[in-house]
Amino acid sequence: MTFSSPFRALAVALLAGAPVLASAVSLAEGKLFLNGNGQWSYQATSRAGTAYLEADSGGDWQTAMFDLLAVAKPTEELTLNAQMGFEATGEVSLEWAFMEWKLSDALRIRAGKVKQPFGNYAELQFVGTGRPLYDLPTSIYGPAGIVADAYQGIGLTGDLPFGSGWNFQYDLWGGALKTATFEPFDWFNGETPTAAAPSIEEISVEYILGARASVTAPNGWTYRLSGYGGNADAGEGEKNVTYAAVAASAWYRGEKLWLSAEASYGPDKGYEKSAAGYLEAAWFLTEKVQVAGRYEILRADIEGLKGSDALGRHDGYTVGASYWISPGAVLRASVDYVNGTRFLRREAWDEAAETGTLIGIPTARTVGETFRFLVGTQFTF
């Protein structure tokens, strides 16, 4: 016995936005479903004064997160979806809230704050049990300014089977979104003489048109092309600039082997262009023990920054092991080696950002490499 069938059912159900998980809590005579996603980890970096994602050199225990998803089906054709996120810091956010009106399998209309259809993992980014490692690749799904929690607007989606186990799925959408980005190079190229410390910021992109095409083969492979473009808010007193991202993706879920690979280009805000990608593989040694590895890369072409500058580079190597208690609960352990300072932070920057303290320029750069150690757990119901 393996968990491949439940895993596949989990991914398909969540991507379709449908309350068909056997583990969901069903209420109101099958018209209301409750699901949840949660995770916690201890993370630490090996280099003093350096932070990466939620880890710092002193070790971070305050990483717990829980999402509560409610799905209502007042009619067979209408589905209402809402998800709230709860962080260990006490922050609560509305991750998405949208309606889906099913006219047919080939045409479903979505409106509201909708999961962003992009690449392999954007719609599954909150579901830790939908992947072989604790975190998604930073180069595409981290603070790289590519993927958002959701977009606000209207979209069309549908499935078109075309025989012998092949299936085509499409997504067309438009509206606005906010995406997270970390751009420390602004503090070292003369643009910011004195300011609050470098920190993760949000970019607002409006008047977006986006699309994704997915083809699933009978052998378990899925191939995707994704893209979107719109106008980004360049800041007070400046004109909005073009903002776009495209990606080619492939993934496979087999009895023992899991594979995922993506390559992305963008965004282009008039002064930054980046190419990113990753290759991820995992293997079930036993029914419950899984090992995984990933290599990811990002190269940024930034105005005013030399191409060899570590601020525009990110190379990440990750190895990990998981013990699956069930398809909905897993224990994790992993080690990352990060080279390049595109996503590395100084702990002093985080402290200054929390207190609103201004820093003088120039300020010391982050040393361009570190290890990150992680143990944790993720669950879904």
Model pLDDT, residue 271? 63
Average pLDDT over residues 92-99: 95
Model pLDDT, residue 282? 98
Average pLDDT over residues 307-314: 80
Question: How many CA atoms within 13 Å lie on the side-chain side of 129?
Answer: 27
Model pLDDT, residue 327? 94
Model pLDDT, residue 239? 63
Which tops the pLDDT comparison, 266 or 191?
Answer: 266
CB 193 within 8 A of CB 168: no
Model pLDDT, residue 183? 81
Which tops the pLDDT comparison, 244 or 30?
Answer: 244
- Summarize pLDDT for 175-193 with one digit per residue, the tens: 999 999 888 877 765 555 5
Model pLDDT, residue 360? 63
173: closest CA among 186, 159, 157? 157
- Summarize pLDDT for 37-94 with one digit per residue, the tens: 999 999 999 999 999 999 999 999 999 999 999 999 999 999 999 999 999 988 999 9
Residue 97's contacts (CB-CB under 8 Å, 6 or more residues apart) are 81, 82, 83, 112, 113
3-state SS, 27-93, equals EHHHCEEEEEEEEEEEEEECCCCEEECCEECCCECCCCEEEEEEEECCCCCEEEEEEEEEECCCCEE
Question: Which of 132-146, 164-178, 290-304 shows the lowest mean pLDDT across its residues?
Answer: 290-304
C-alpha separations of 349 from 138, 344, 366 in Å: 20, 11, 10
Residue type at position 255: E
Model pLDDT, residue 354? 79
Average pLDDT over residues 98-119: 97
- Summarize pLDDT for 323-350 with one digit per residue, the tens: 999 999 999 999 999 999 899 998 888 8
Helix (H) or strand (E) holding 347: helix 347-355
CB 141 within 8 A of CB 125: yes
Model pLDDT, residue 98? 97
Model confidence at 159: pLDDT above 60: yes
Model confidence at 6: pLDDT above 70: no
Residue 104's contacts (CB-CB under 8 Å, 6 or more residues apart) are 158
Mean pLDDT comparison of 4-18, 173-187, 300-314, 327-341, highest-scoring range: 327-341
Confidence of residue 125 (pLDDT cuts 50, 70, 90): very high
Sign for the pseudo-dihedral over CA of 167, 96, 93, 9: negative
d(CA 86, CA 218): 38
Confidence of residue 19 (pLDDT cuts 50, 70, 90): very low
CB 262 within 8 A of CB 248: yes
Across the chain, mean pLDDT equals: 88
Model pLDDT, residue 190? 53
Confidence of residue 1 (pLDDT cuts 50, 70, 90): very low
261: closest CA among 147, 119, 138? 119
Model pLDDT, residue 20? 42
**In 10 A of CB 137, how many CB atoms?**
29
Residue 237's contacts (CB-CB under 8 Å, 6 or more residues apart) are none
d(CA 88, CA 3): 30
Average pLDDT over residues 20-35: 70
Model pLDDT, residue 21? 45
CB 271 within 8 A of CB 149: no
Average pLDDT over residues 289-318: 88
Rg, the chain, Cα only: 21
Residue 77's contacts (CB-CB under 8 Å, 6 or more residues apart) are 101, 102, 103
Average pLDDT over residues 253-262: 96
Confidence of residue 22 (pLDDT cuts 50, 70, 90): very low
Where in the chain are the domains?
Answer: 4-380
CB 76 within 8 A of CB 100: no
CATH classification (class only), 4-380: mainly beta
Which tops the pLDDT comparison, 186 or 207?
Answer: 207
Average pLDDT over residues 285-297: 97
d(CA 299, CA 260): 20
Model pLDDT, residue 81? 95
Model pLDDT, residue 31? 85
Alpha-carbon 239 to chain mean position = 29
* Residue 45 token pair: 């970096």
Model pLDDT, residue 163? 83
